[in-house]
Amino acid sequence: MTRPQAIVLAAPGTNRDHDVSFALGLAGAEPRIVLLAELLANPAVLRDAQMLVVAGGFSYADALGAGRMWSLELAHNVGDALTGFVAEGKPVIGICNGFQVLTRTGLLPGALGHNQSGSFQCEWVRLEAPASRCVWTRDLPSLECPIAHGEGRYVHPDPDALAAAGQVALRYEGHNPNGSLDDIAGVCDESGVVLGLMPHPENHVLPRQHPRRARGTAGGLGLTLFERGVAYARER
Amino acid sequence: MRLTIRSKGEDPRAGALLADAHALGLTHVTAIDVADVVFFADELHGDHVAELETVLVDPLLQTGSWSVPLEGIETSLLPGVTDPAATAVQLAMATVGLPDVPVATGKHYVVHGPVSAVEQQSLARRLLANQVIERWAHAPIEPHFIDAHATADRTVDHVAIRDLDDDALMALSRERGLSLDLAELHAIAEHYRGVGREPTDVELETLAQTWSEHCSHKTFRARITAVDDDGTEVGEITPLLRQLRDSTDAINAPYVVSSFVGNAGIVSWVPGITLAVKAETHNHPSAIEPFGGSNTGVGGVIRDVMGAAHHPIAVTDILCFGPTDLPADQLPEGVLHPRLIESGVIAGVADYGNKIGLPNIAGAVLYDPGYVANPLVYAGCIGVASAAEPLPGPQPGDLVVVMGGRTGRDGLRGATFSSATMDATTGDVAGASVQIGDPIVEKLVIDAMAECHGLYTAVTDCGAGGLSSAVGEMAEGVGAEVDVTLAPLKYPGLRPWEIWLSEAQERMVFAVPPAQWPAMLAVCARHGVEATSLGTFTGDGVLRVRAGDLNVLELDTHFLHDGRPQRSMVATLPHPFRGLGTPPICADPAATLRELLAHPNIASKERVVRRYDHEIRGATVVRPLVGAEHDGHADGVVVAEPSDTHGFAVGIGVNPWFGLHDPERMAHAVVDEAVRNVVAVGADPDRAVLLDNFSWGDPRRPSTLGELAMAVQGCCHAAHRYGAPFVSGKDSLNNEYLGSDGQRHAVPPTLVITAMAHVPDADCTVTPDLRAAGNVLLQVGHTSVDFAGSHFELLYGTEGHGTVPAPLLDPLTRYRALHVAIREGRVQSCHDLSEGGLAVAVAEMAIAGRLGVRIGSLPHANPTAALFSETNGRFVVEVTPADLEWFVQNVPDTSVIGTVTDDGMVTFPGWSVSVADLVDAFTGSAS
């Protein structure tokens, strides 16, 4: 089977690019980390790719708010190439800082504010995928993975309309860690190919990575989410 | 003009500020509003203003205002303090095509409630502005913009020293903050009489930095004479550092690649792979600027591992604070409240580790009144590398290359500052010693270094002493010539000595063969990292520094590194109680257990641990928090790369309360604790290494030095007994505060031992959470009457009930047997016994597993000793009934104590407590 080429985009301060590359490799893609400067110098690298990942981290140290600087760079320099990628129906995922970036570029609805606790939190959460337009979460069983963020509280002016449009892709199940509106953990764009989420499914791609594995109460692998995206990129 | 940016809804910082104000005694403050302010030096026209607002203000989350507020308190950074937010604004403006104008940032506060003007000022001074890096004013504040046109003063002064008498020499040392003693000043004067000229200011500062306690470990290298209490000489003590090195040589472990050389210890348990490990302290900077101090402490120790040519993969932190409920009127003059130090330090550790993308895997938080004026911040780092030939060292002709951050006035004289005693004015005078961290720059240097293999012959980090230490160390024996004016600067106007000694962060120095320089530059360009050649390594053994055409330093590197006279010191040895004790009486063990679980040292640290990313890299197999509800503390942590079958464990040992009673036994006990912790999670006790970190008072006081000497001796004996060699260490001395009452307050003797050991099977690890009702609980190890320094004693102030636990005679046999049991899958859960003894350990296992326990038989005739004594070398182990016989026959010193139940109760003979009550006590959620 062909391995779709996935570009993992990394800006200065991105730090989960290697984790998500490892996950994509396991899920059957051919990941390649592309530094932001390389993309800005040569936006054509997007043409050969079938998938795009905006990876997590602290791009530009969260200066002026998480994701702000990176989204400015993207929107002002390669905005057309990005919207073209999406218009072709190629799957895009933004994780954590990548989610923050995609909301600020306008590719995804809503915004991400400071956690209700006022500080960075690292803990495991359970996610469920309601019926939605999102190609990454179609028939996705519930999964467990960590969050690691300080600005992950999802806000949106009209969450009911968002849900009605099929754009709520993931919800926190059981425990909402950051005060996100309506327990929203991830949303997609109107076409369903762009997903943004705060949690890190890339850190639960092996059973050994689950904290309760030895207790026999480990939940679903985050790997499944990447497998859905890879399958979509392959079959599209 | 200026833009004030406010959060819609409550700002996340407001709650913490209000709580801090209340803790400072200003309980009638009802709210503190906070907003961010961006200042622009020049006026912008209308279109630009609108565009700038869309860039800086997110309409779903924030509102922006261009009007100038006339109420409230405002803060801005002091001149020379790095302002990353301002840099980001300028970058954003450039990205969207707005004009380049000088930018500064600050904060705007409004205090609500019946607060007087005096109280407002007090709040501004003590809470809102950290006066080490910020100033405050009633709104509107006038910010300081960087002067991009300042010109450098390239003068160099000669300091007359050759003909000074003793008094004048000491006065010179004091005036310039050199922290040198008379013998050292004589050596310098003598050297320059030989050279035939006076030293330059750059030379004198370089010598002071290189010879500082921080850089040269004068005390650990000193000749020590032991004397009786009446002053009679009773013998000579081998220099402390030599004792530690000798013990490592004697153990001769085949897996130690490098110990006590260079920036970190290096081990190899798997062919082709080496691990570097290092722990550092950043105590003095954290006392005056908690966020910046701990932030750069983490950044500095990561660079130590990079300086050992290893790729960082994890960090650790051990923090010691004064009681956070200290009444405001008991706070010594000039000292920050422990609550503010705690929140700043934790935020600083979290900020650096989270942003650079390294999991914070292990640590401890301790509270004691002895840390009020001198908080302690230990930061550790572990790195990995493919085993290759060791770097050859700088060759004549190699370039002197500085990579990473730019040089500013940050942290000038940090090494000499950290070697001095603090007092009420320290925060005022030491402002320039505070460094500001930029984890993203360091992250980029890590990424660039990962692609620079084979392009350099030597590398070291710029730490204390800045370029003077880094280049000075690398040039030892080979010599170098550099021009400091080539160093990229954050802003113009620095004098040569400031560039040479600046402790600006995130810089590494490399020796690069000229043929490889273009390749290194290409890698750096790809990652957006600055690298600059300052000069060359020469081969003549002389260190020369120029500022353009002006020679500012010429020093023989042999004199620089070996010219310091060995210090001679005097120690009086302690006489700890080593007799038999009688156990104290405990009237209500259930109440004692709850009080122990609620004690700040034992209670849940979840609120701290959750601030750190311990998941990144996907390699943290045993996390710091474990169990059914992820709120039990693991003994040690295990890291295993997702693609590997093996890994390593890290454990921490620290107990200053033992140190107050018996420093030698403390050393044994904390080595045992660190090793115990890694064995308990599944590491191989025959493949462990140790790090030592001593934080002590002023060693020039003979009793303090005697306690230090006994602790070192204990370390060496313990290392030998456990077959676990020390591979690296660091001492931080002079952790004292000179009170305005003239009294000196030293920290309790705080020895932190970090153990790192090989985990042969990453799928075969164990945690302390109970697994299933019906399983059997055993205690491994014997209990004695050891209450000196115990948490029972801490709680009730009952002294005189026994000793600090004695060293174990044969711990390895026990630990090896337990390891075999773990490897064979015969251990369901396992927890070591430490603070609070058996009762606390059993309770913590019940909490972590949310299961009950019925203890049928206590492992000591005296119930108080059985429950609360803190004897070394003990574990509670849960096994299935089927494994019980094997376990008892194969693991020595084992006794059955009870069973796991599902009745929700922890039951000891004669009393019981519900697990729910224990959870409440442990987590502080009891009403």
Please give the order of strands across the beta sheet that includes A184-188: A30-35, A5-10, A51-54, A92-95, A194-197, A184-188, A168-173, A121-128, A143-149
CB atoms within 10 A of CB B725: 25
The answer to whether residue B719 scores a pLDDT higher than 90 is: yes
Q: Any catalytic annotation for residue A202?
A: yes
Give the separation between CA B206 and CA B204, rounded to whole angstroms.
5
A1 touches chain B (CB under 8 A): no
A206 touches chain B (CB under 8 A): yes
Sign, CA dihedral A36-B353-A56-A182, equals negative
Nearest CA in chain A to B60: A111
List chain B residues with CB under 8 Å of A70: none
CB spacing of A118 vs B16 below 8 angstroms: yes
Q: Where in chain B is the domain with CATH 3.90.650.10?
A: 149-211+392-564, 768-927
How deeply is B830 buried, as exposed, middle or buried, from its count of CB atoms within 10 A (0-12, 13-18, 19+)?
Answer: buried
Please report the residues numbered 2 through 21 in chain A whose beta carbons come closer than 8 angstroms to any beta carbon of chain B. Answer: 12-13, 15-16, 18-19
Nearest CA in chain B to A155: B60
3-state secondary structure of B595: helix
The answer to whether residue B672 scores a pLDDT higher than 60 is: yes
Please report the residues numbered 78 through 117 in chain A whose beta carbons come closer than 8 angstroms to any beta carbon of chain B. Answer: 104, 110-111, 113-117
Mean pLDDT of chain B: 93
Give the separation between CA B194 and CA B190, rounded to whole angstroms.
6
Nearest CA in chain A to B634: A211
Neighbouring-strand partners of residue B694: B731, B751
Cα maximum dimension of chain A: 50
Looking at B108, B282, B561, B661, which residue is catalytic? Answer: B282
Chain B interface mutation, best of A208, A221, A226, highest count of B Cβ atoms under 10 Å: A208
Residue with tokens 């042999």: B558
Residue by residue, DSSP assigns B622-687 as E-SEESTTS-EEPSSEEE--TT-S-EEEEEEEE-HHHHHH-HHHHHHHHHHHHHHHHHHHT--TTS
Q: State residue B68's pLDDT score.
A: 95
Angle at B129 between CA B128 and CA B134, to 5 degrees: 155
CB spacing of A214 vs B628 below 8 angstroms: no
CB spacing of B611 vs A115 below 8 angstroms: no
CB spacing of A64 vs B439 below 8 angstroms: no
Q: State residue B433's pLDDT score.
A: 54
Residue with tokens 């470990």: B217
A226 touches chain B (CB under 8 A): no
Give, in order, the Cα–Cα distances in Å from B606 to each of B12, B363, B488, B597, B843: 20, 12, 42, 14, 17
CB spacing of B440 vs A60 below 8 angstroms: yes
Report DSSP state, residue B601: T
Give the pLDDT confidence of B509-567 residue by residue, as tens digits.
Answer: 999 999 999 999 999 999 999 999 999 999 999 999 999 999 999 999 999 999 999 99
- A-B CB pairs within 8 A amount to 153
Amino acid occupying residue B163 = D
A123 touches chain B (CB under 8 A): yes
CB spacing of A63 vs B85 below 8 angstroms: yes
Give the separation between CA B918 and CA B926, rounded to whole angstroms.
9
Looking at A200, A204, A210, A227, which residue is catalytic? Answer: A200
Give the residue-averaged pLDDT of B151-161. 82
Give the pLDDT confidence of B747-776 residue by residue, as tens digits.
Answer: 999 999 999 999 999 999 999 999 999 999
* Share above pLDDT 70 across residues of chain A, in percent, rounded to a whole number: 100
Give the separation between CA B878 and CA B827, rounded to whole angstroms.
6
Give the separation between CA B473 and CA B461, rounded to whole angstroms.
10
In this structure, what is the dihedral angle of CA atoms B757, B759, B760, B766, given to the nearest 10 degrees?
Answer: 140
Q: State residue B432's pLDDT score.
A: 52
The answer to whether residue B916 scores a pLDDT higher than 90 is: yes
Give the pLDDT confidence of A93-147 residue by residue, as tens digits.
Answer: 999 999 999 999 999 999 999 999 999 999 999 999 999 999 999 999 999 999 9
Quote the minimal CA–CA distance from B87 to chain A in Å: 9
Q: Give the ipTM of the model, two decimals please.
A: 0.97
Give the pLDDT confidence of A45-68 residue by residue, as tens digits.
Answer: 999 999 999 999 999 999 888 999
Burial B19-33 (b: 16+ CB within 10 A, else e): ebbebbebeebeebb
Give the residue-averaged pLDDT of B699-727. 97
Give the residue-averaged pLDDT of A28-57. 96
Q: Per CATH, is B768-927 categorized as 3.90.650.10?
A: yes
The answer to whether residue B365 scores a pLDDT higher than 70 is: yes
Q: Domains of chain A, with CATH numbers?
A: 5-235 (3.40.50.880)
Amino acid occupying residue A201 = P
Neighbouring-strand partners of residue B551: B546
Give the residue-averaged pLDDT of B703-720. 97
* Share above pLDDT 90 across residues of chain B, in percent, rounded to a whole number: 80
CB B830 within 8 A of CB B766: yes
Task: For residue B429, name the pLDDT band (cuts at 50, 70, 90).
Answer: very low
**CATH code for residues B2-138:** 3.30.1280.10
Burial B561-599 (b: 16+ CB within 10 A, else e): bebbeebebbbbbbebeeeebebbebeebbebbbbbbbb
The answer to whether residue B214 scores a pLDDT higher than 90 is: no
Give the separation between CA B697 and CA B735, rounded to whole angstroms.
5
The full length of chain A comes to: 236
Task: For residue B430, name the pLDDT band (cuts at 50, 70, 90).
Answer: very low
Q: State residue B25's pLDDT score.
A: 84
Q: Which residues contact B162 (CB under 8 A, 6 or more apart)?
A: B189, B192, B193, B198
Q: Which residues contact B175 (CB under 8 A, 6 or more apart)?
A: none
Peptide bond into B140 cis (omega under 30): yes
Architecture, CATH, for domain B149-211+392-564: Alpha-Beta Complex (3.90)
Please report the residues numbered 97 through 126 in chain B whose beta carbons come closer than 8 angstroms to any beta carbon of chain A. Answer: 97
List chain B residues with CB under 8 Å of A211: 623, 625-626, 630
Residue with tokens 């422990």: B338
Looking at A73, A144, A151, A202, which residue is catalytic? Answer: A202
Give the pLDDT confidence of B246-261 residue by residue, as tens digits.
Answer: 999 999 999 999 999 8
A37 touches chain B (CB under 8 A): yes
List chain B residues with CB under 8 Å of A214: 765-767
Q: How many CA atoms lie within 13 A of B779 on its CB side?
A: 24
Give the pLDDT confidence of B769-790 residue by residue, as tens digits.
Answer: 999 999 999 999 999 999 999 9
Task: For residue B422, name the pLDDT band (cuts at 50, 70, 90).
Answer: low
Q: State residue B420's pLDDT score.
A: 57
B96 touches chain A (CB under 8 A): yes
CB atoms within 10 A of CB B286: 30
Residue by residue, DSSP assigns B52-119 as HHHHH--TTTEEEE-S---SSEEEEEPTTS--HHHHHHHHHHHHTT-----EEEEEEEEEESS--HHH
Give the residue-averaged pLDDT of A204-208. 96
Q: Which of B848, B839, B909 is nearest to B868 (CA)?
A: B839
The answer to whether residue B926 scores a pLDDT higher than 60 is: no
Pairing of strands B233-237, B223-227: antiparallel
Which pair of structure tokens corresponds to residue B96? 């969207």
Give the separation between CA A120 and CA B326, rounded to whole angstroms.
26
Give the separation between CA B775 and CA B708, rounded to whole angstroms.
45
Dihedral class, residue B393 (left if φ above 0, else alpha if ψ from -120 to 50, else beta): left
Out of A53-57, A153-157, B575-579, B777-781, least confident range: B575-579
Give, in order, the Cα–Cα distances in Å from A71 to each of A51, A53, A81, A97, B215: 19, 14, 14, 10, 44
Give the residue-averaged pLDDT of B316-345. 93
Cα maximum dimension of chain B: 85
Burial B632-644 (b: 16+ CB within 10 A, else e): bbbbbbbbbbbee
Q: Any catalytic annotation for residue A18?
A: no
List chain A residues with CB under 8 Å of B84: 61, 63
How deeply is B368 buried, as exposed, middle or buried, from its count of CB atoms within 10 A (0-12, 13-18, 19+)?
Answer: buried
Q: State residue A236's pLDDT score.
A: 85
Give the pLDDT confidence of B602-630 residue by residue, as tens digits.
Answer: 999 999 999 999 999 999 999 999 999 99
CB spacing of A68 vs B92 below 8 angstroms: yes
Q: Which residues contact B512 (CB under 8 A, 6 or more apart)?
A: B398, B399, B401, B455, B456, B457, B520, B533
Looking at B108, B144, B191, B214, which residue is catalytic? Answer: B214
Chain A interface mutation, best of B17, B529, B616, highest count of A Cβ atoms under 10 Å: B616
Which pair of structure tokens corresponds to residue B445? 């240097």
Q: State residue B653's pLDDT score.
A: 98
CB spacing of A13 vs B16 below 8 angstroms: no
Neighbouring-strand partners of residue B638: B622, B649
3-state secondary structure of B481: strand
**When comparing pLDDT for B410 and B363, which is higher?**
B363
B241 touches chain A (CB under 8 A): no
- H or E element, residue B531: strand B531-537
Q: Where in chain B is the domain with CATH 3.30.1280.10?
A: 2-138
List chain A residues with CB under 8 Å of B61: 65, 111, 113, 155
Give the residue-averaged pLDDT of B592-604. 97
Q: Which residues contact B505 (CB under 8 A, 6 or more apart)?
A: B296, B299, B300, B405, B410, B411, B435, B436, B437, B438, B441, B442, B462
In SS3 terms, B296-321 reads as HHHHHHHHHHHHCCCEEEEEEEEEEE
Angle at B437 between CA B434 and CA B438, to 5 degrees: 155
CB spacing of B615 vs A122 below 8 angstroms: yes
CB B121 within 8 A of CB A94: no
A61 touches chain B (CB under 8 A): yes
Give the residue-averaged pLDDT of B194-206. 93
- The separation between the first and the last C-alpha atoms of chain A, rounded to the nearest angstrom, is 14
Chain A interface mutation, best of B615, B625, B631, B850, highest count of A Cβ atoms under 10 Å: B615
- Residue from the list A111, A204, A211 with its beta carbon closest to the beta carbon of B58: A111
Give the separation between CA A209 and CA B17, rounded to whole angstroms.
37
Give the separation between CA B300 and CA B281, rounded to whole angstroms.
10
Q: State residue B416's pLDDT score.
A: 54
- H or E element, residue B774: none
Task: For residue B410, name the pLDDT band (cuts at 50, 70, 90).
Answer: confident
List chain B residues with CB under 8 Å of A35: 526-527
Which pair of structure tokens corresponds to residue B866? 């059985």
List chain A residues with CB under 8 Å of B97: 76
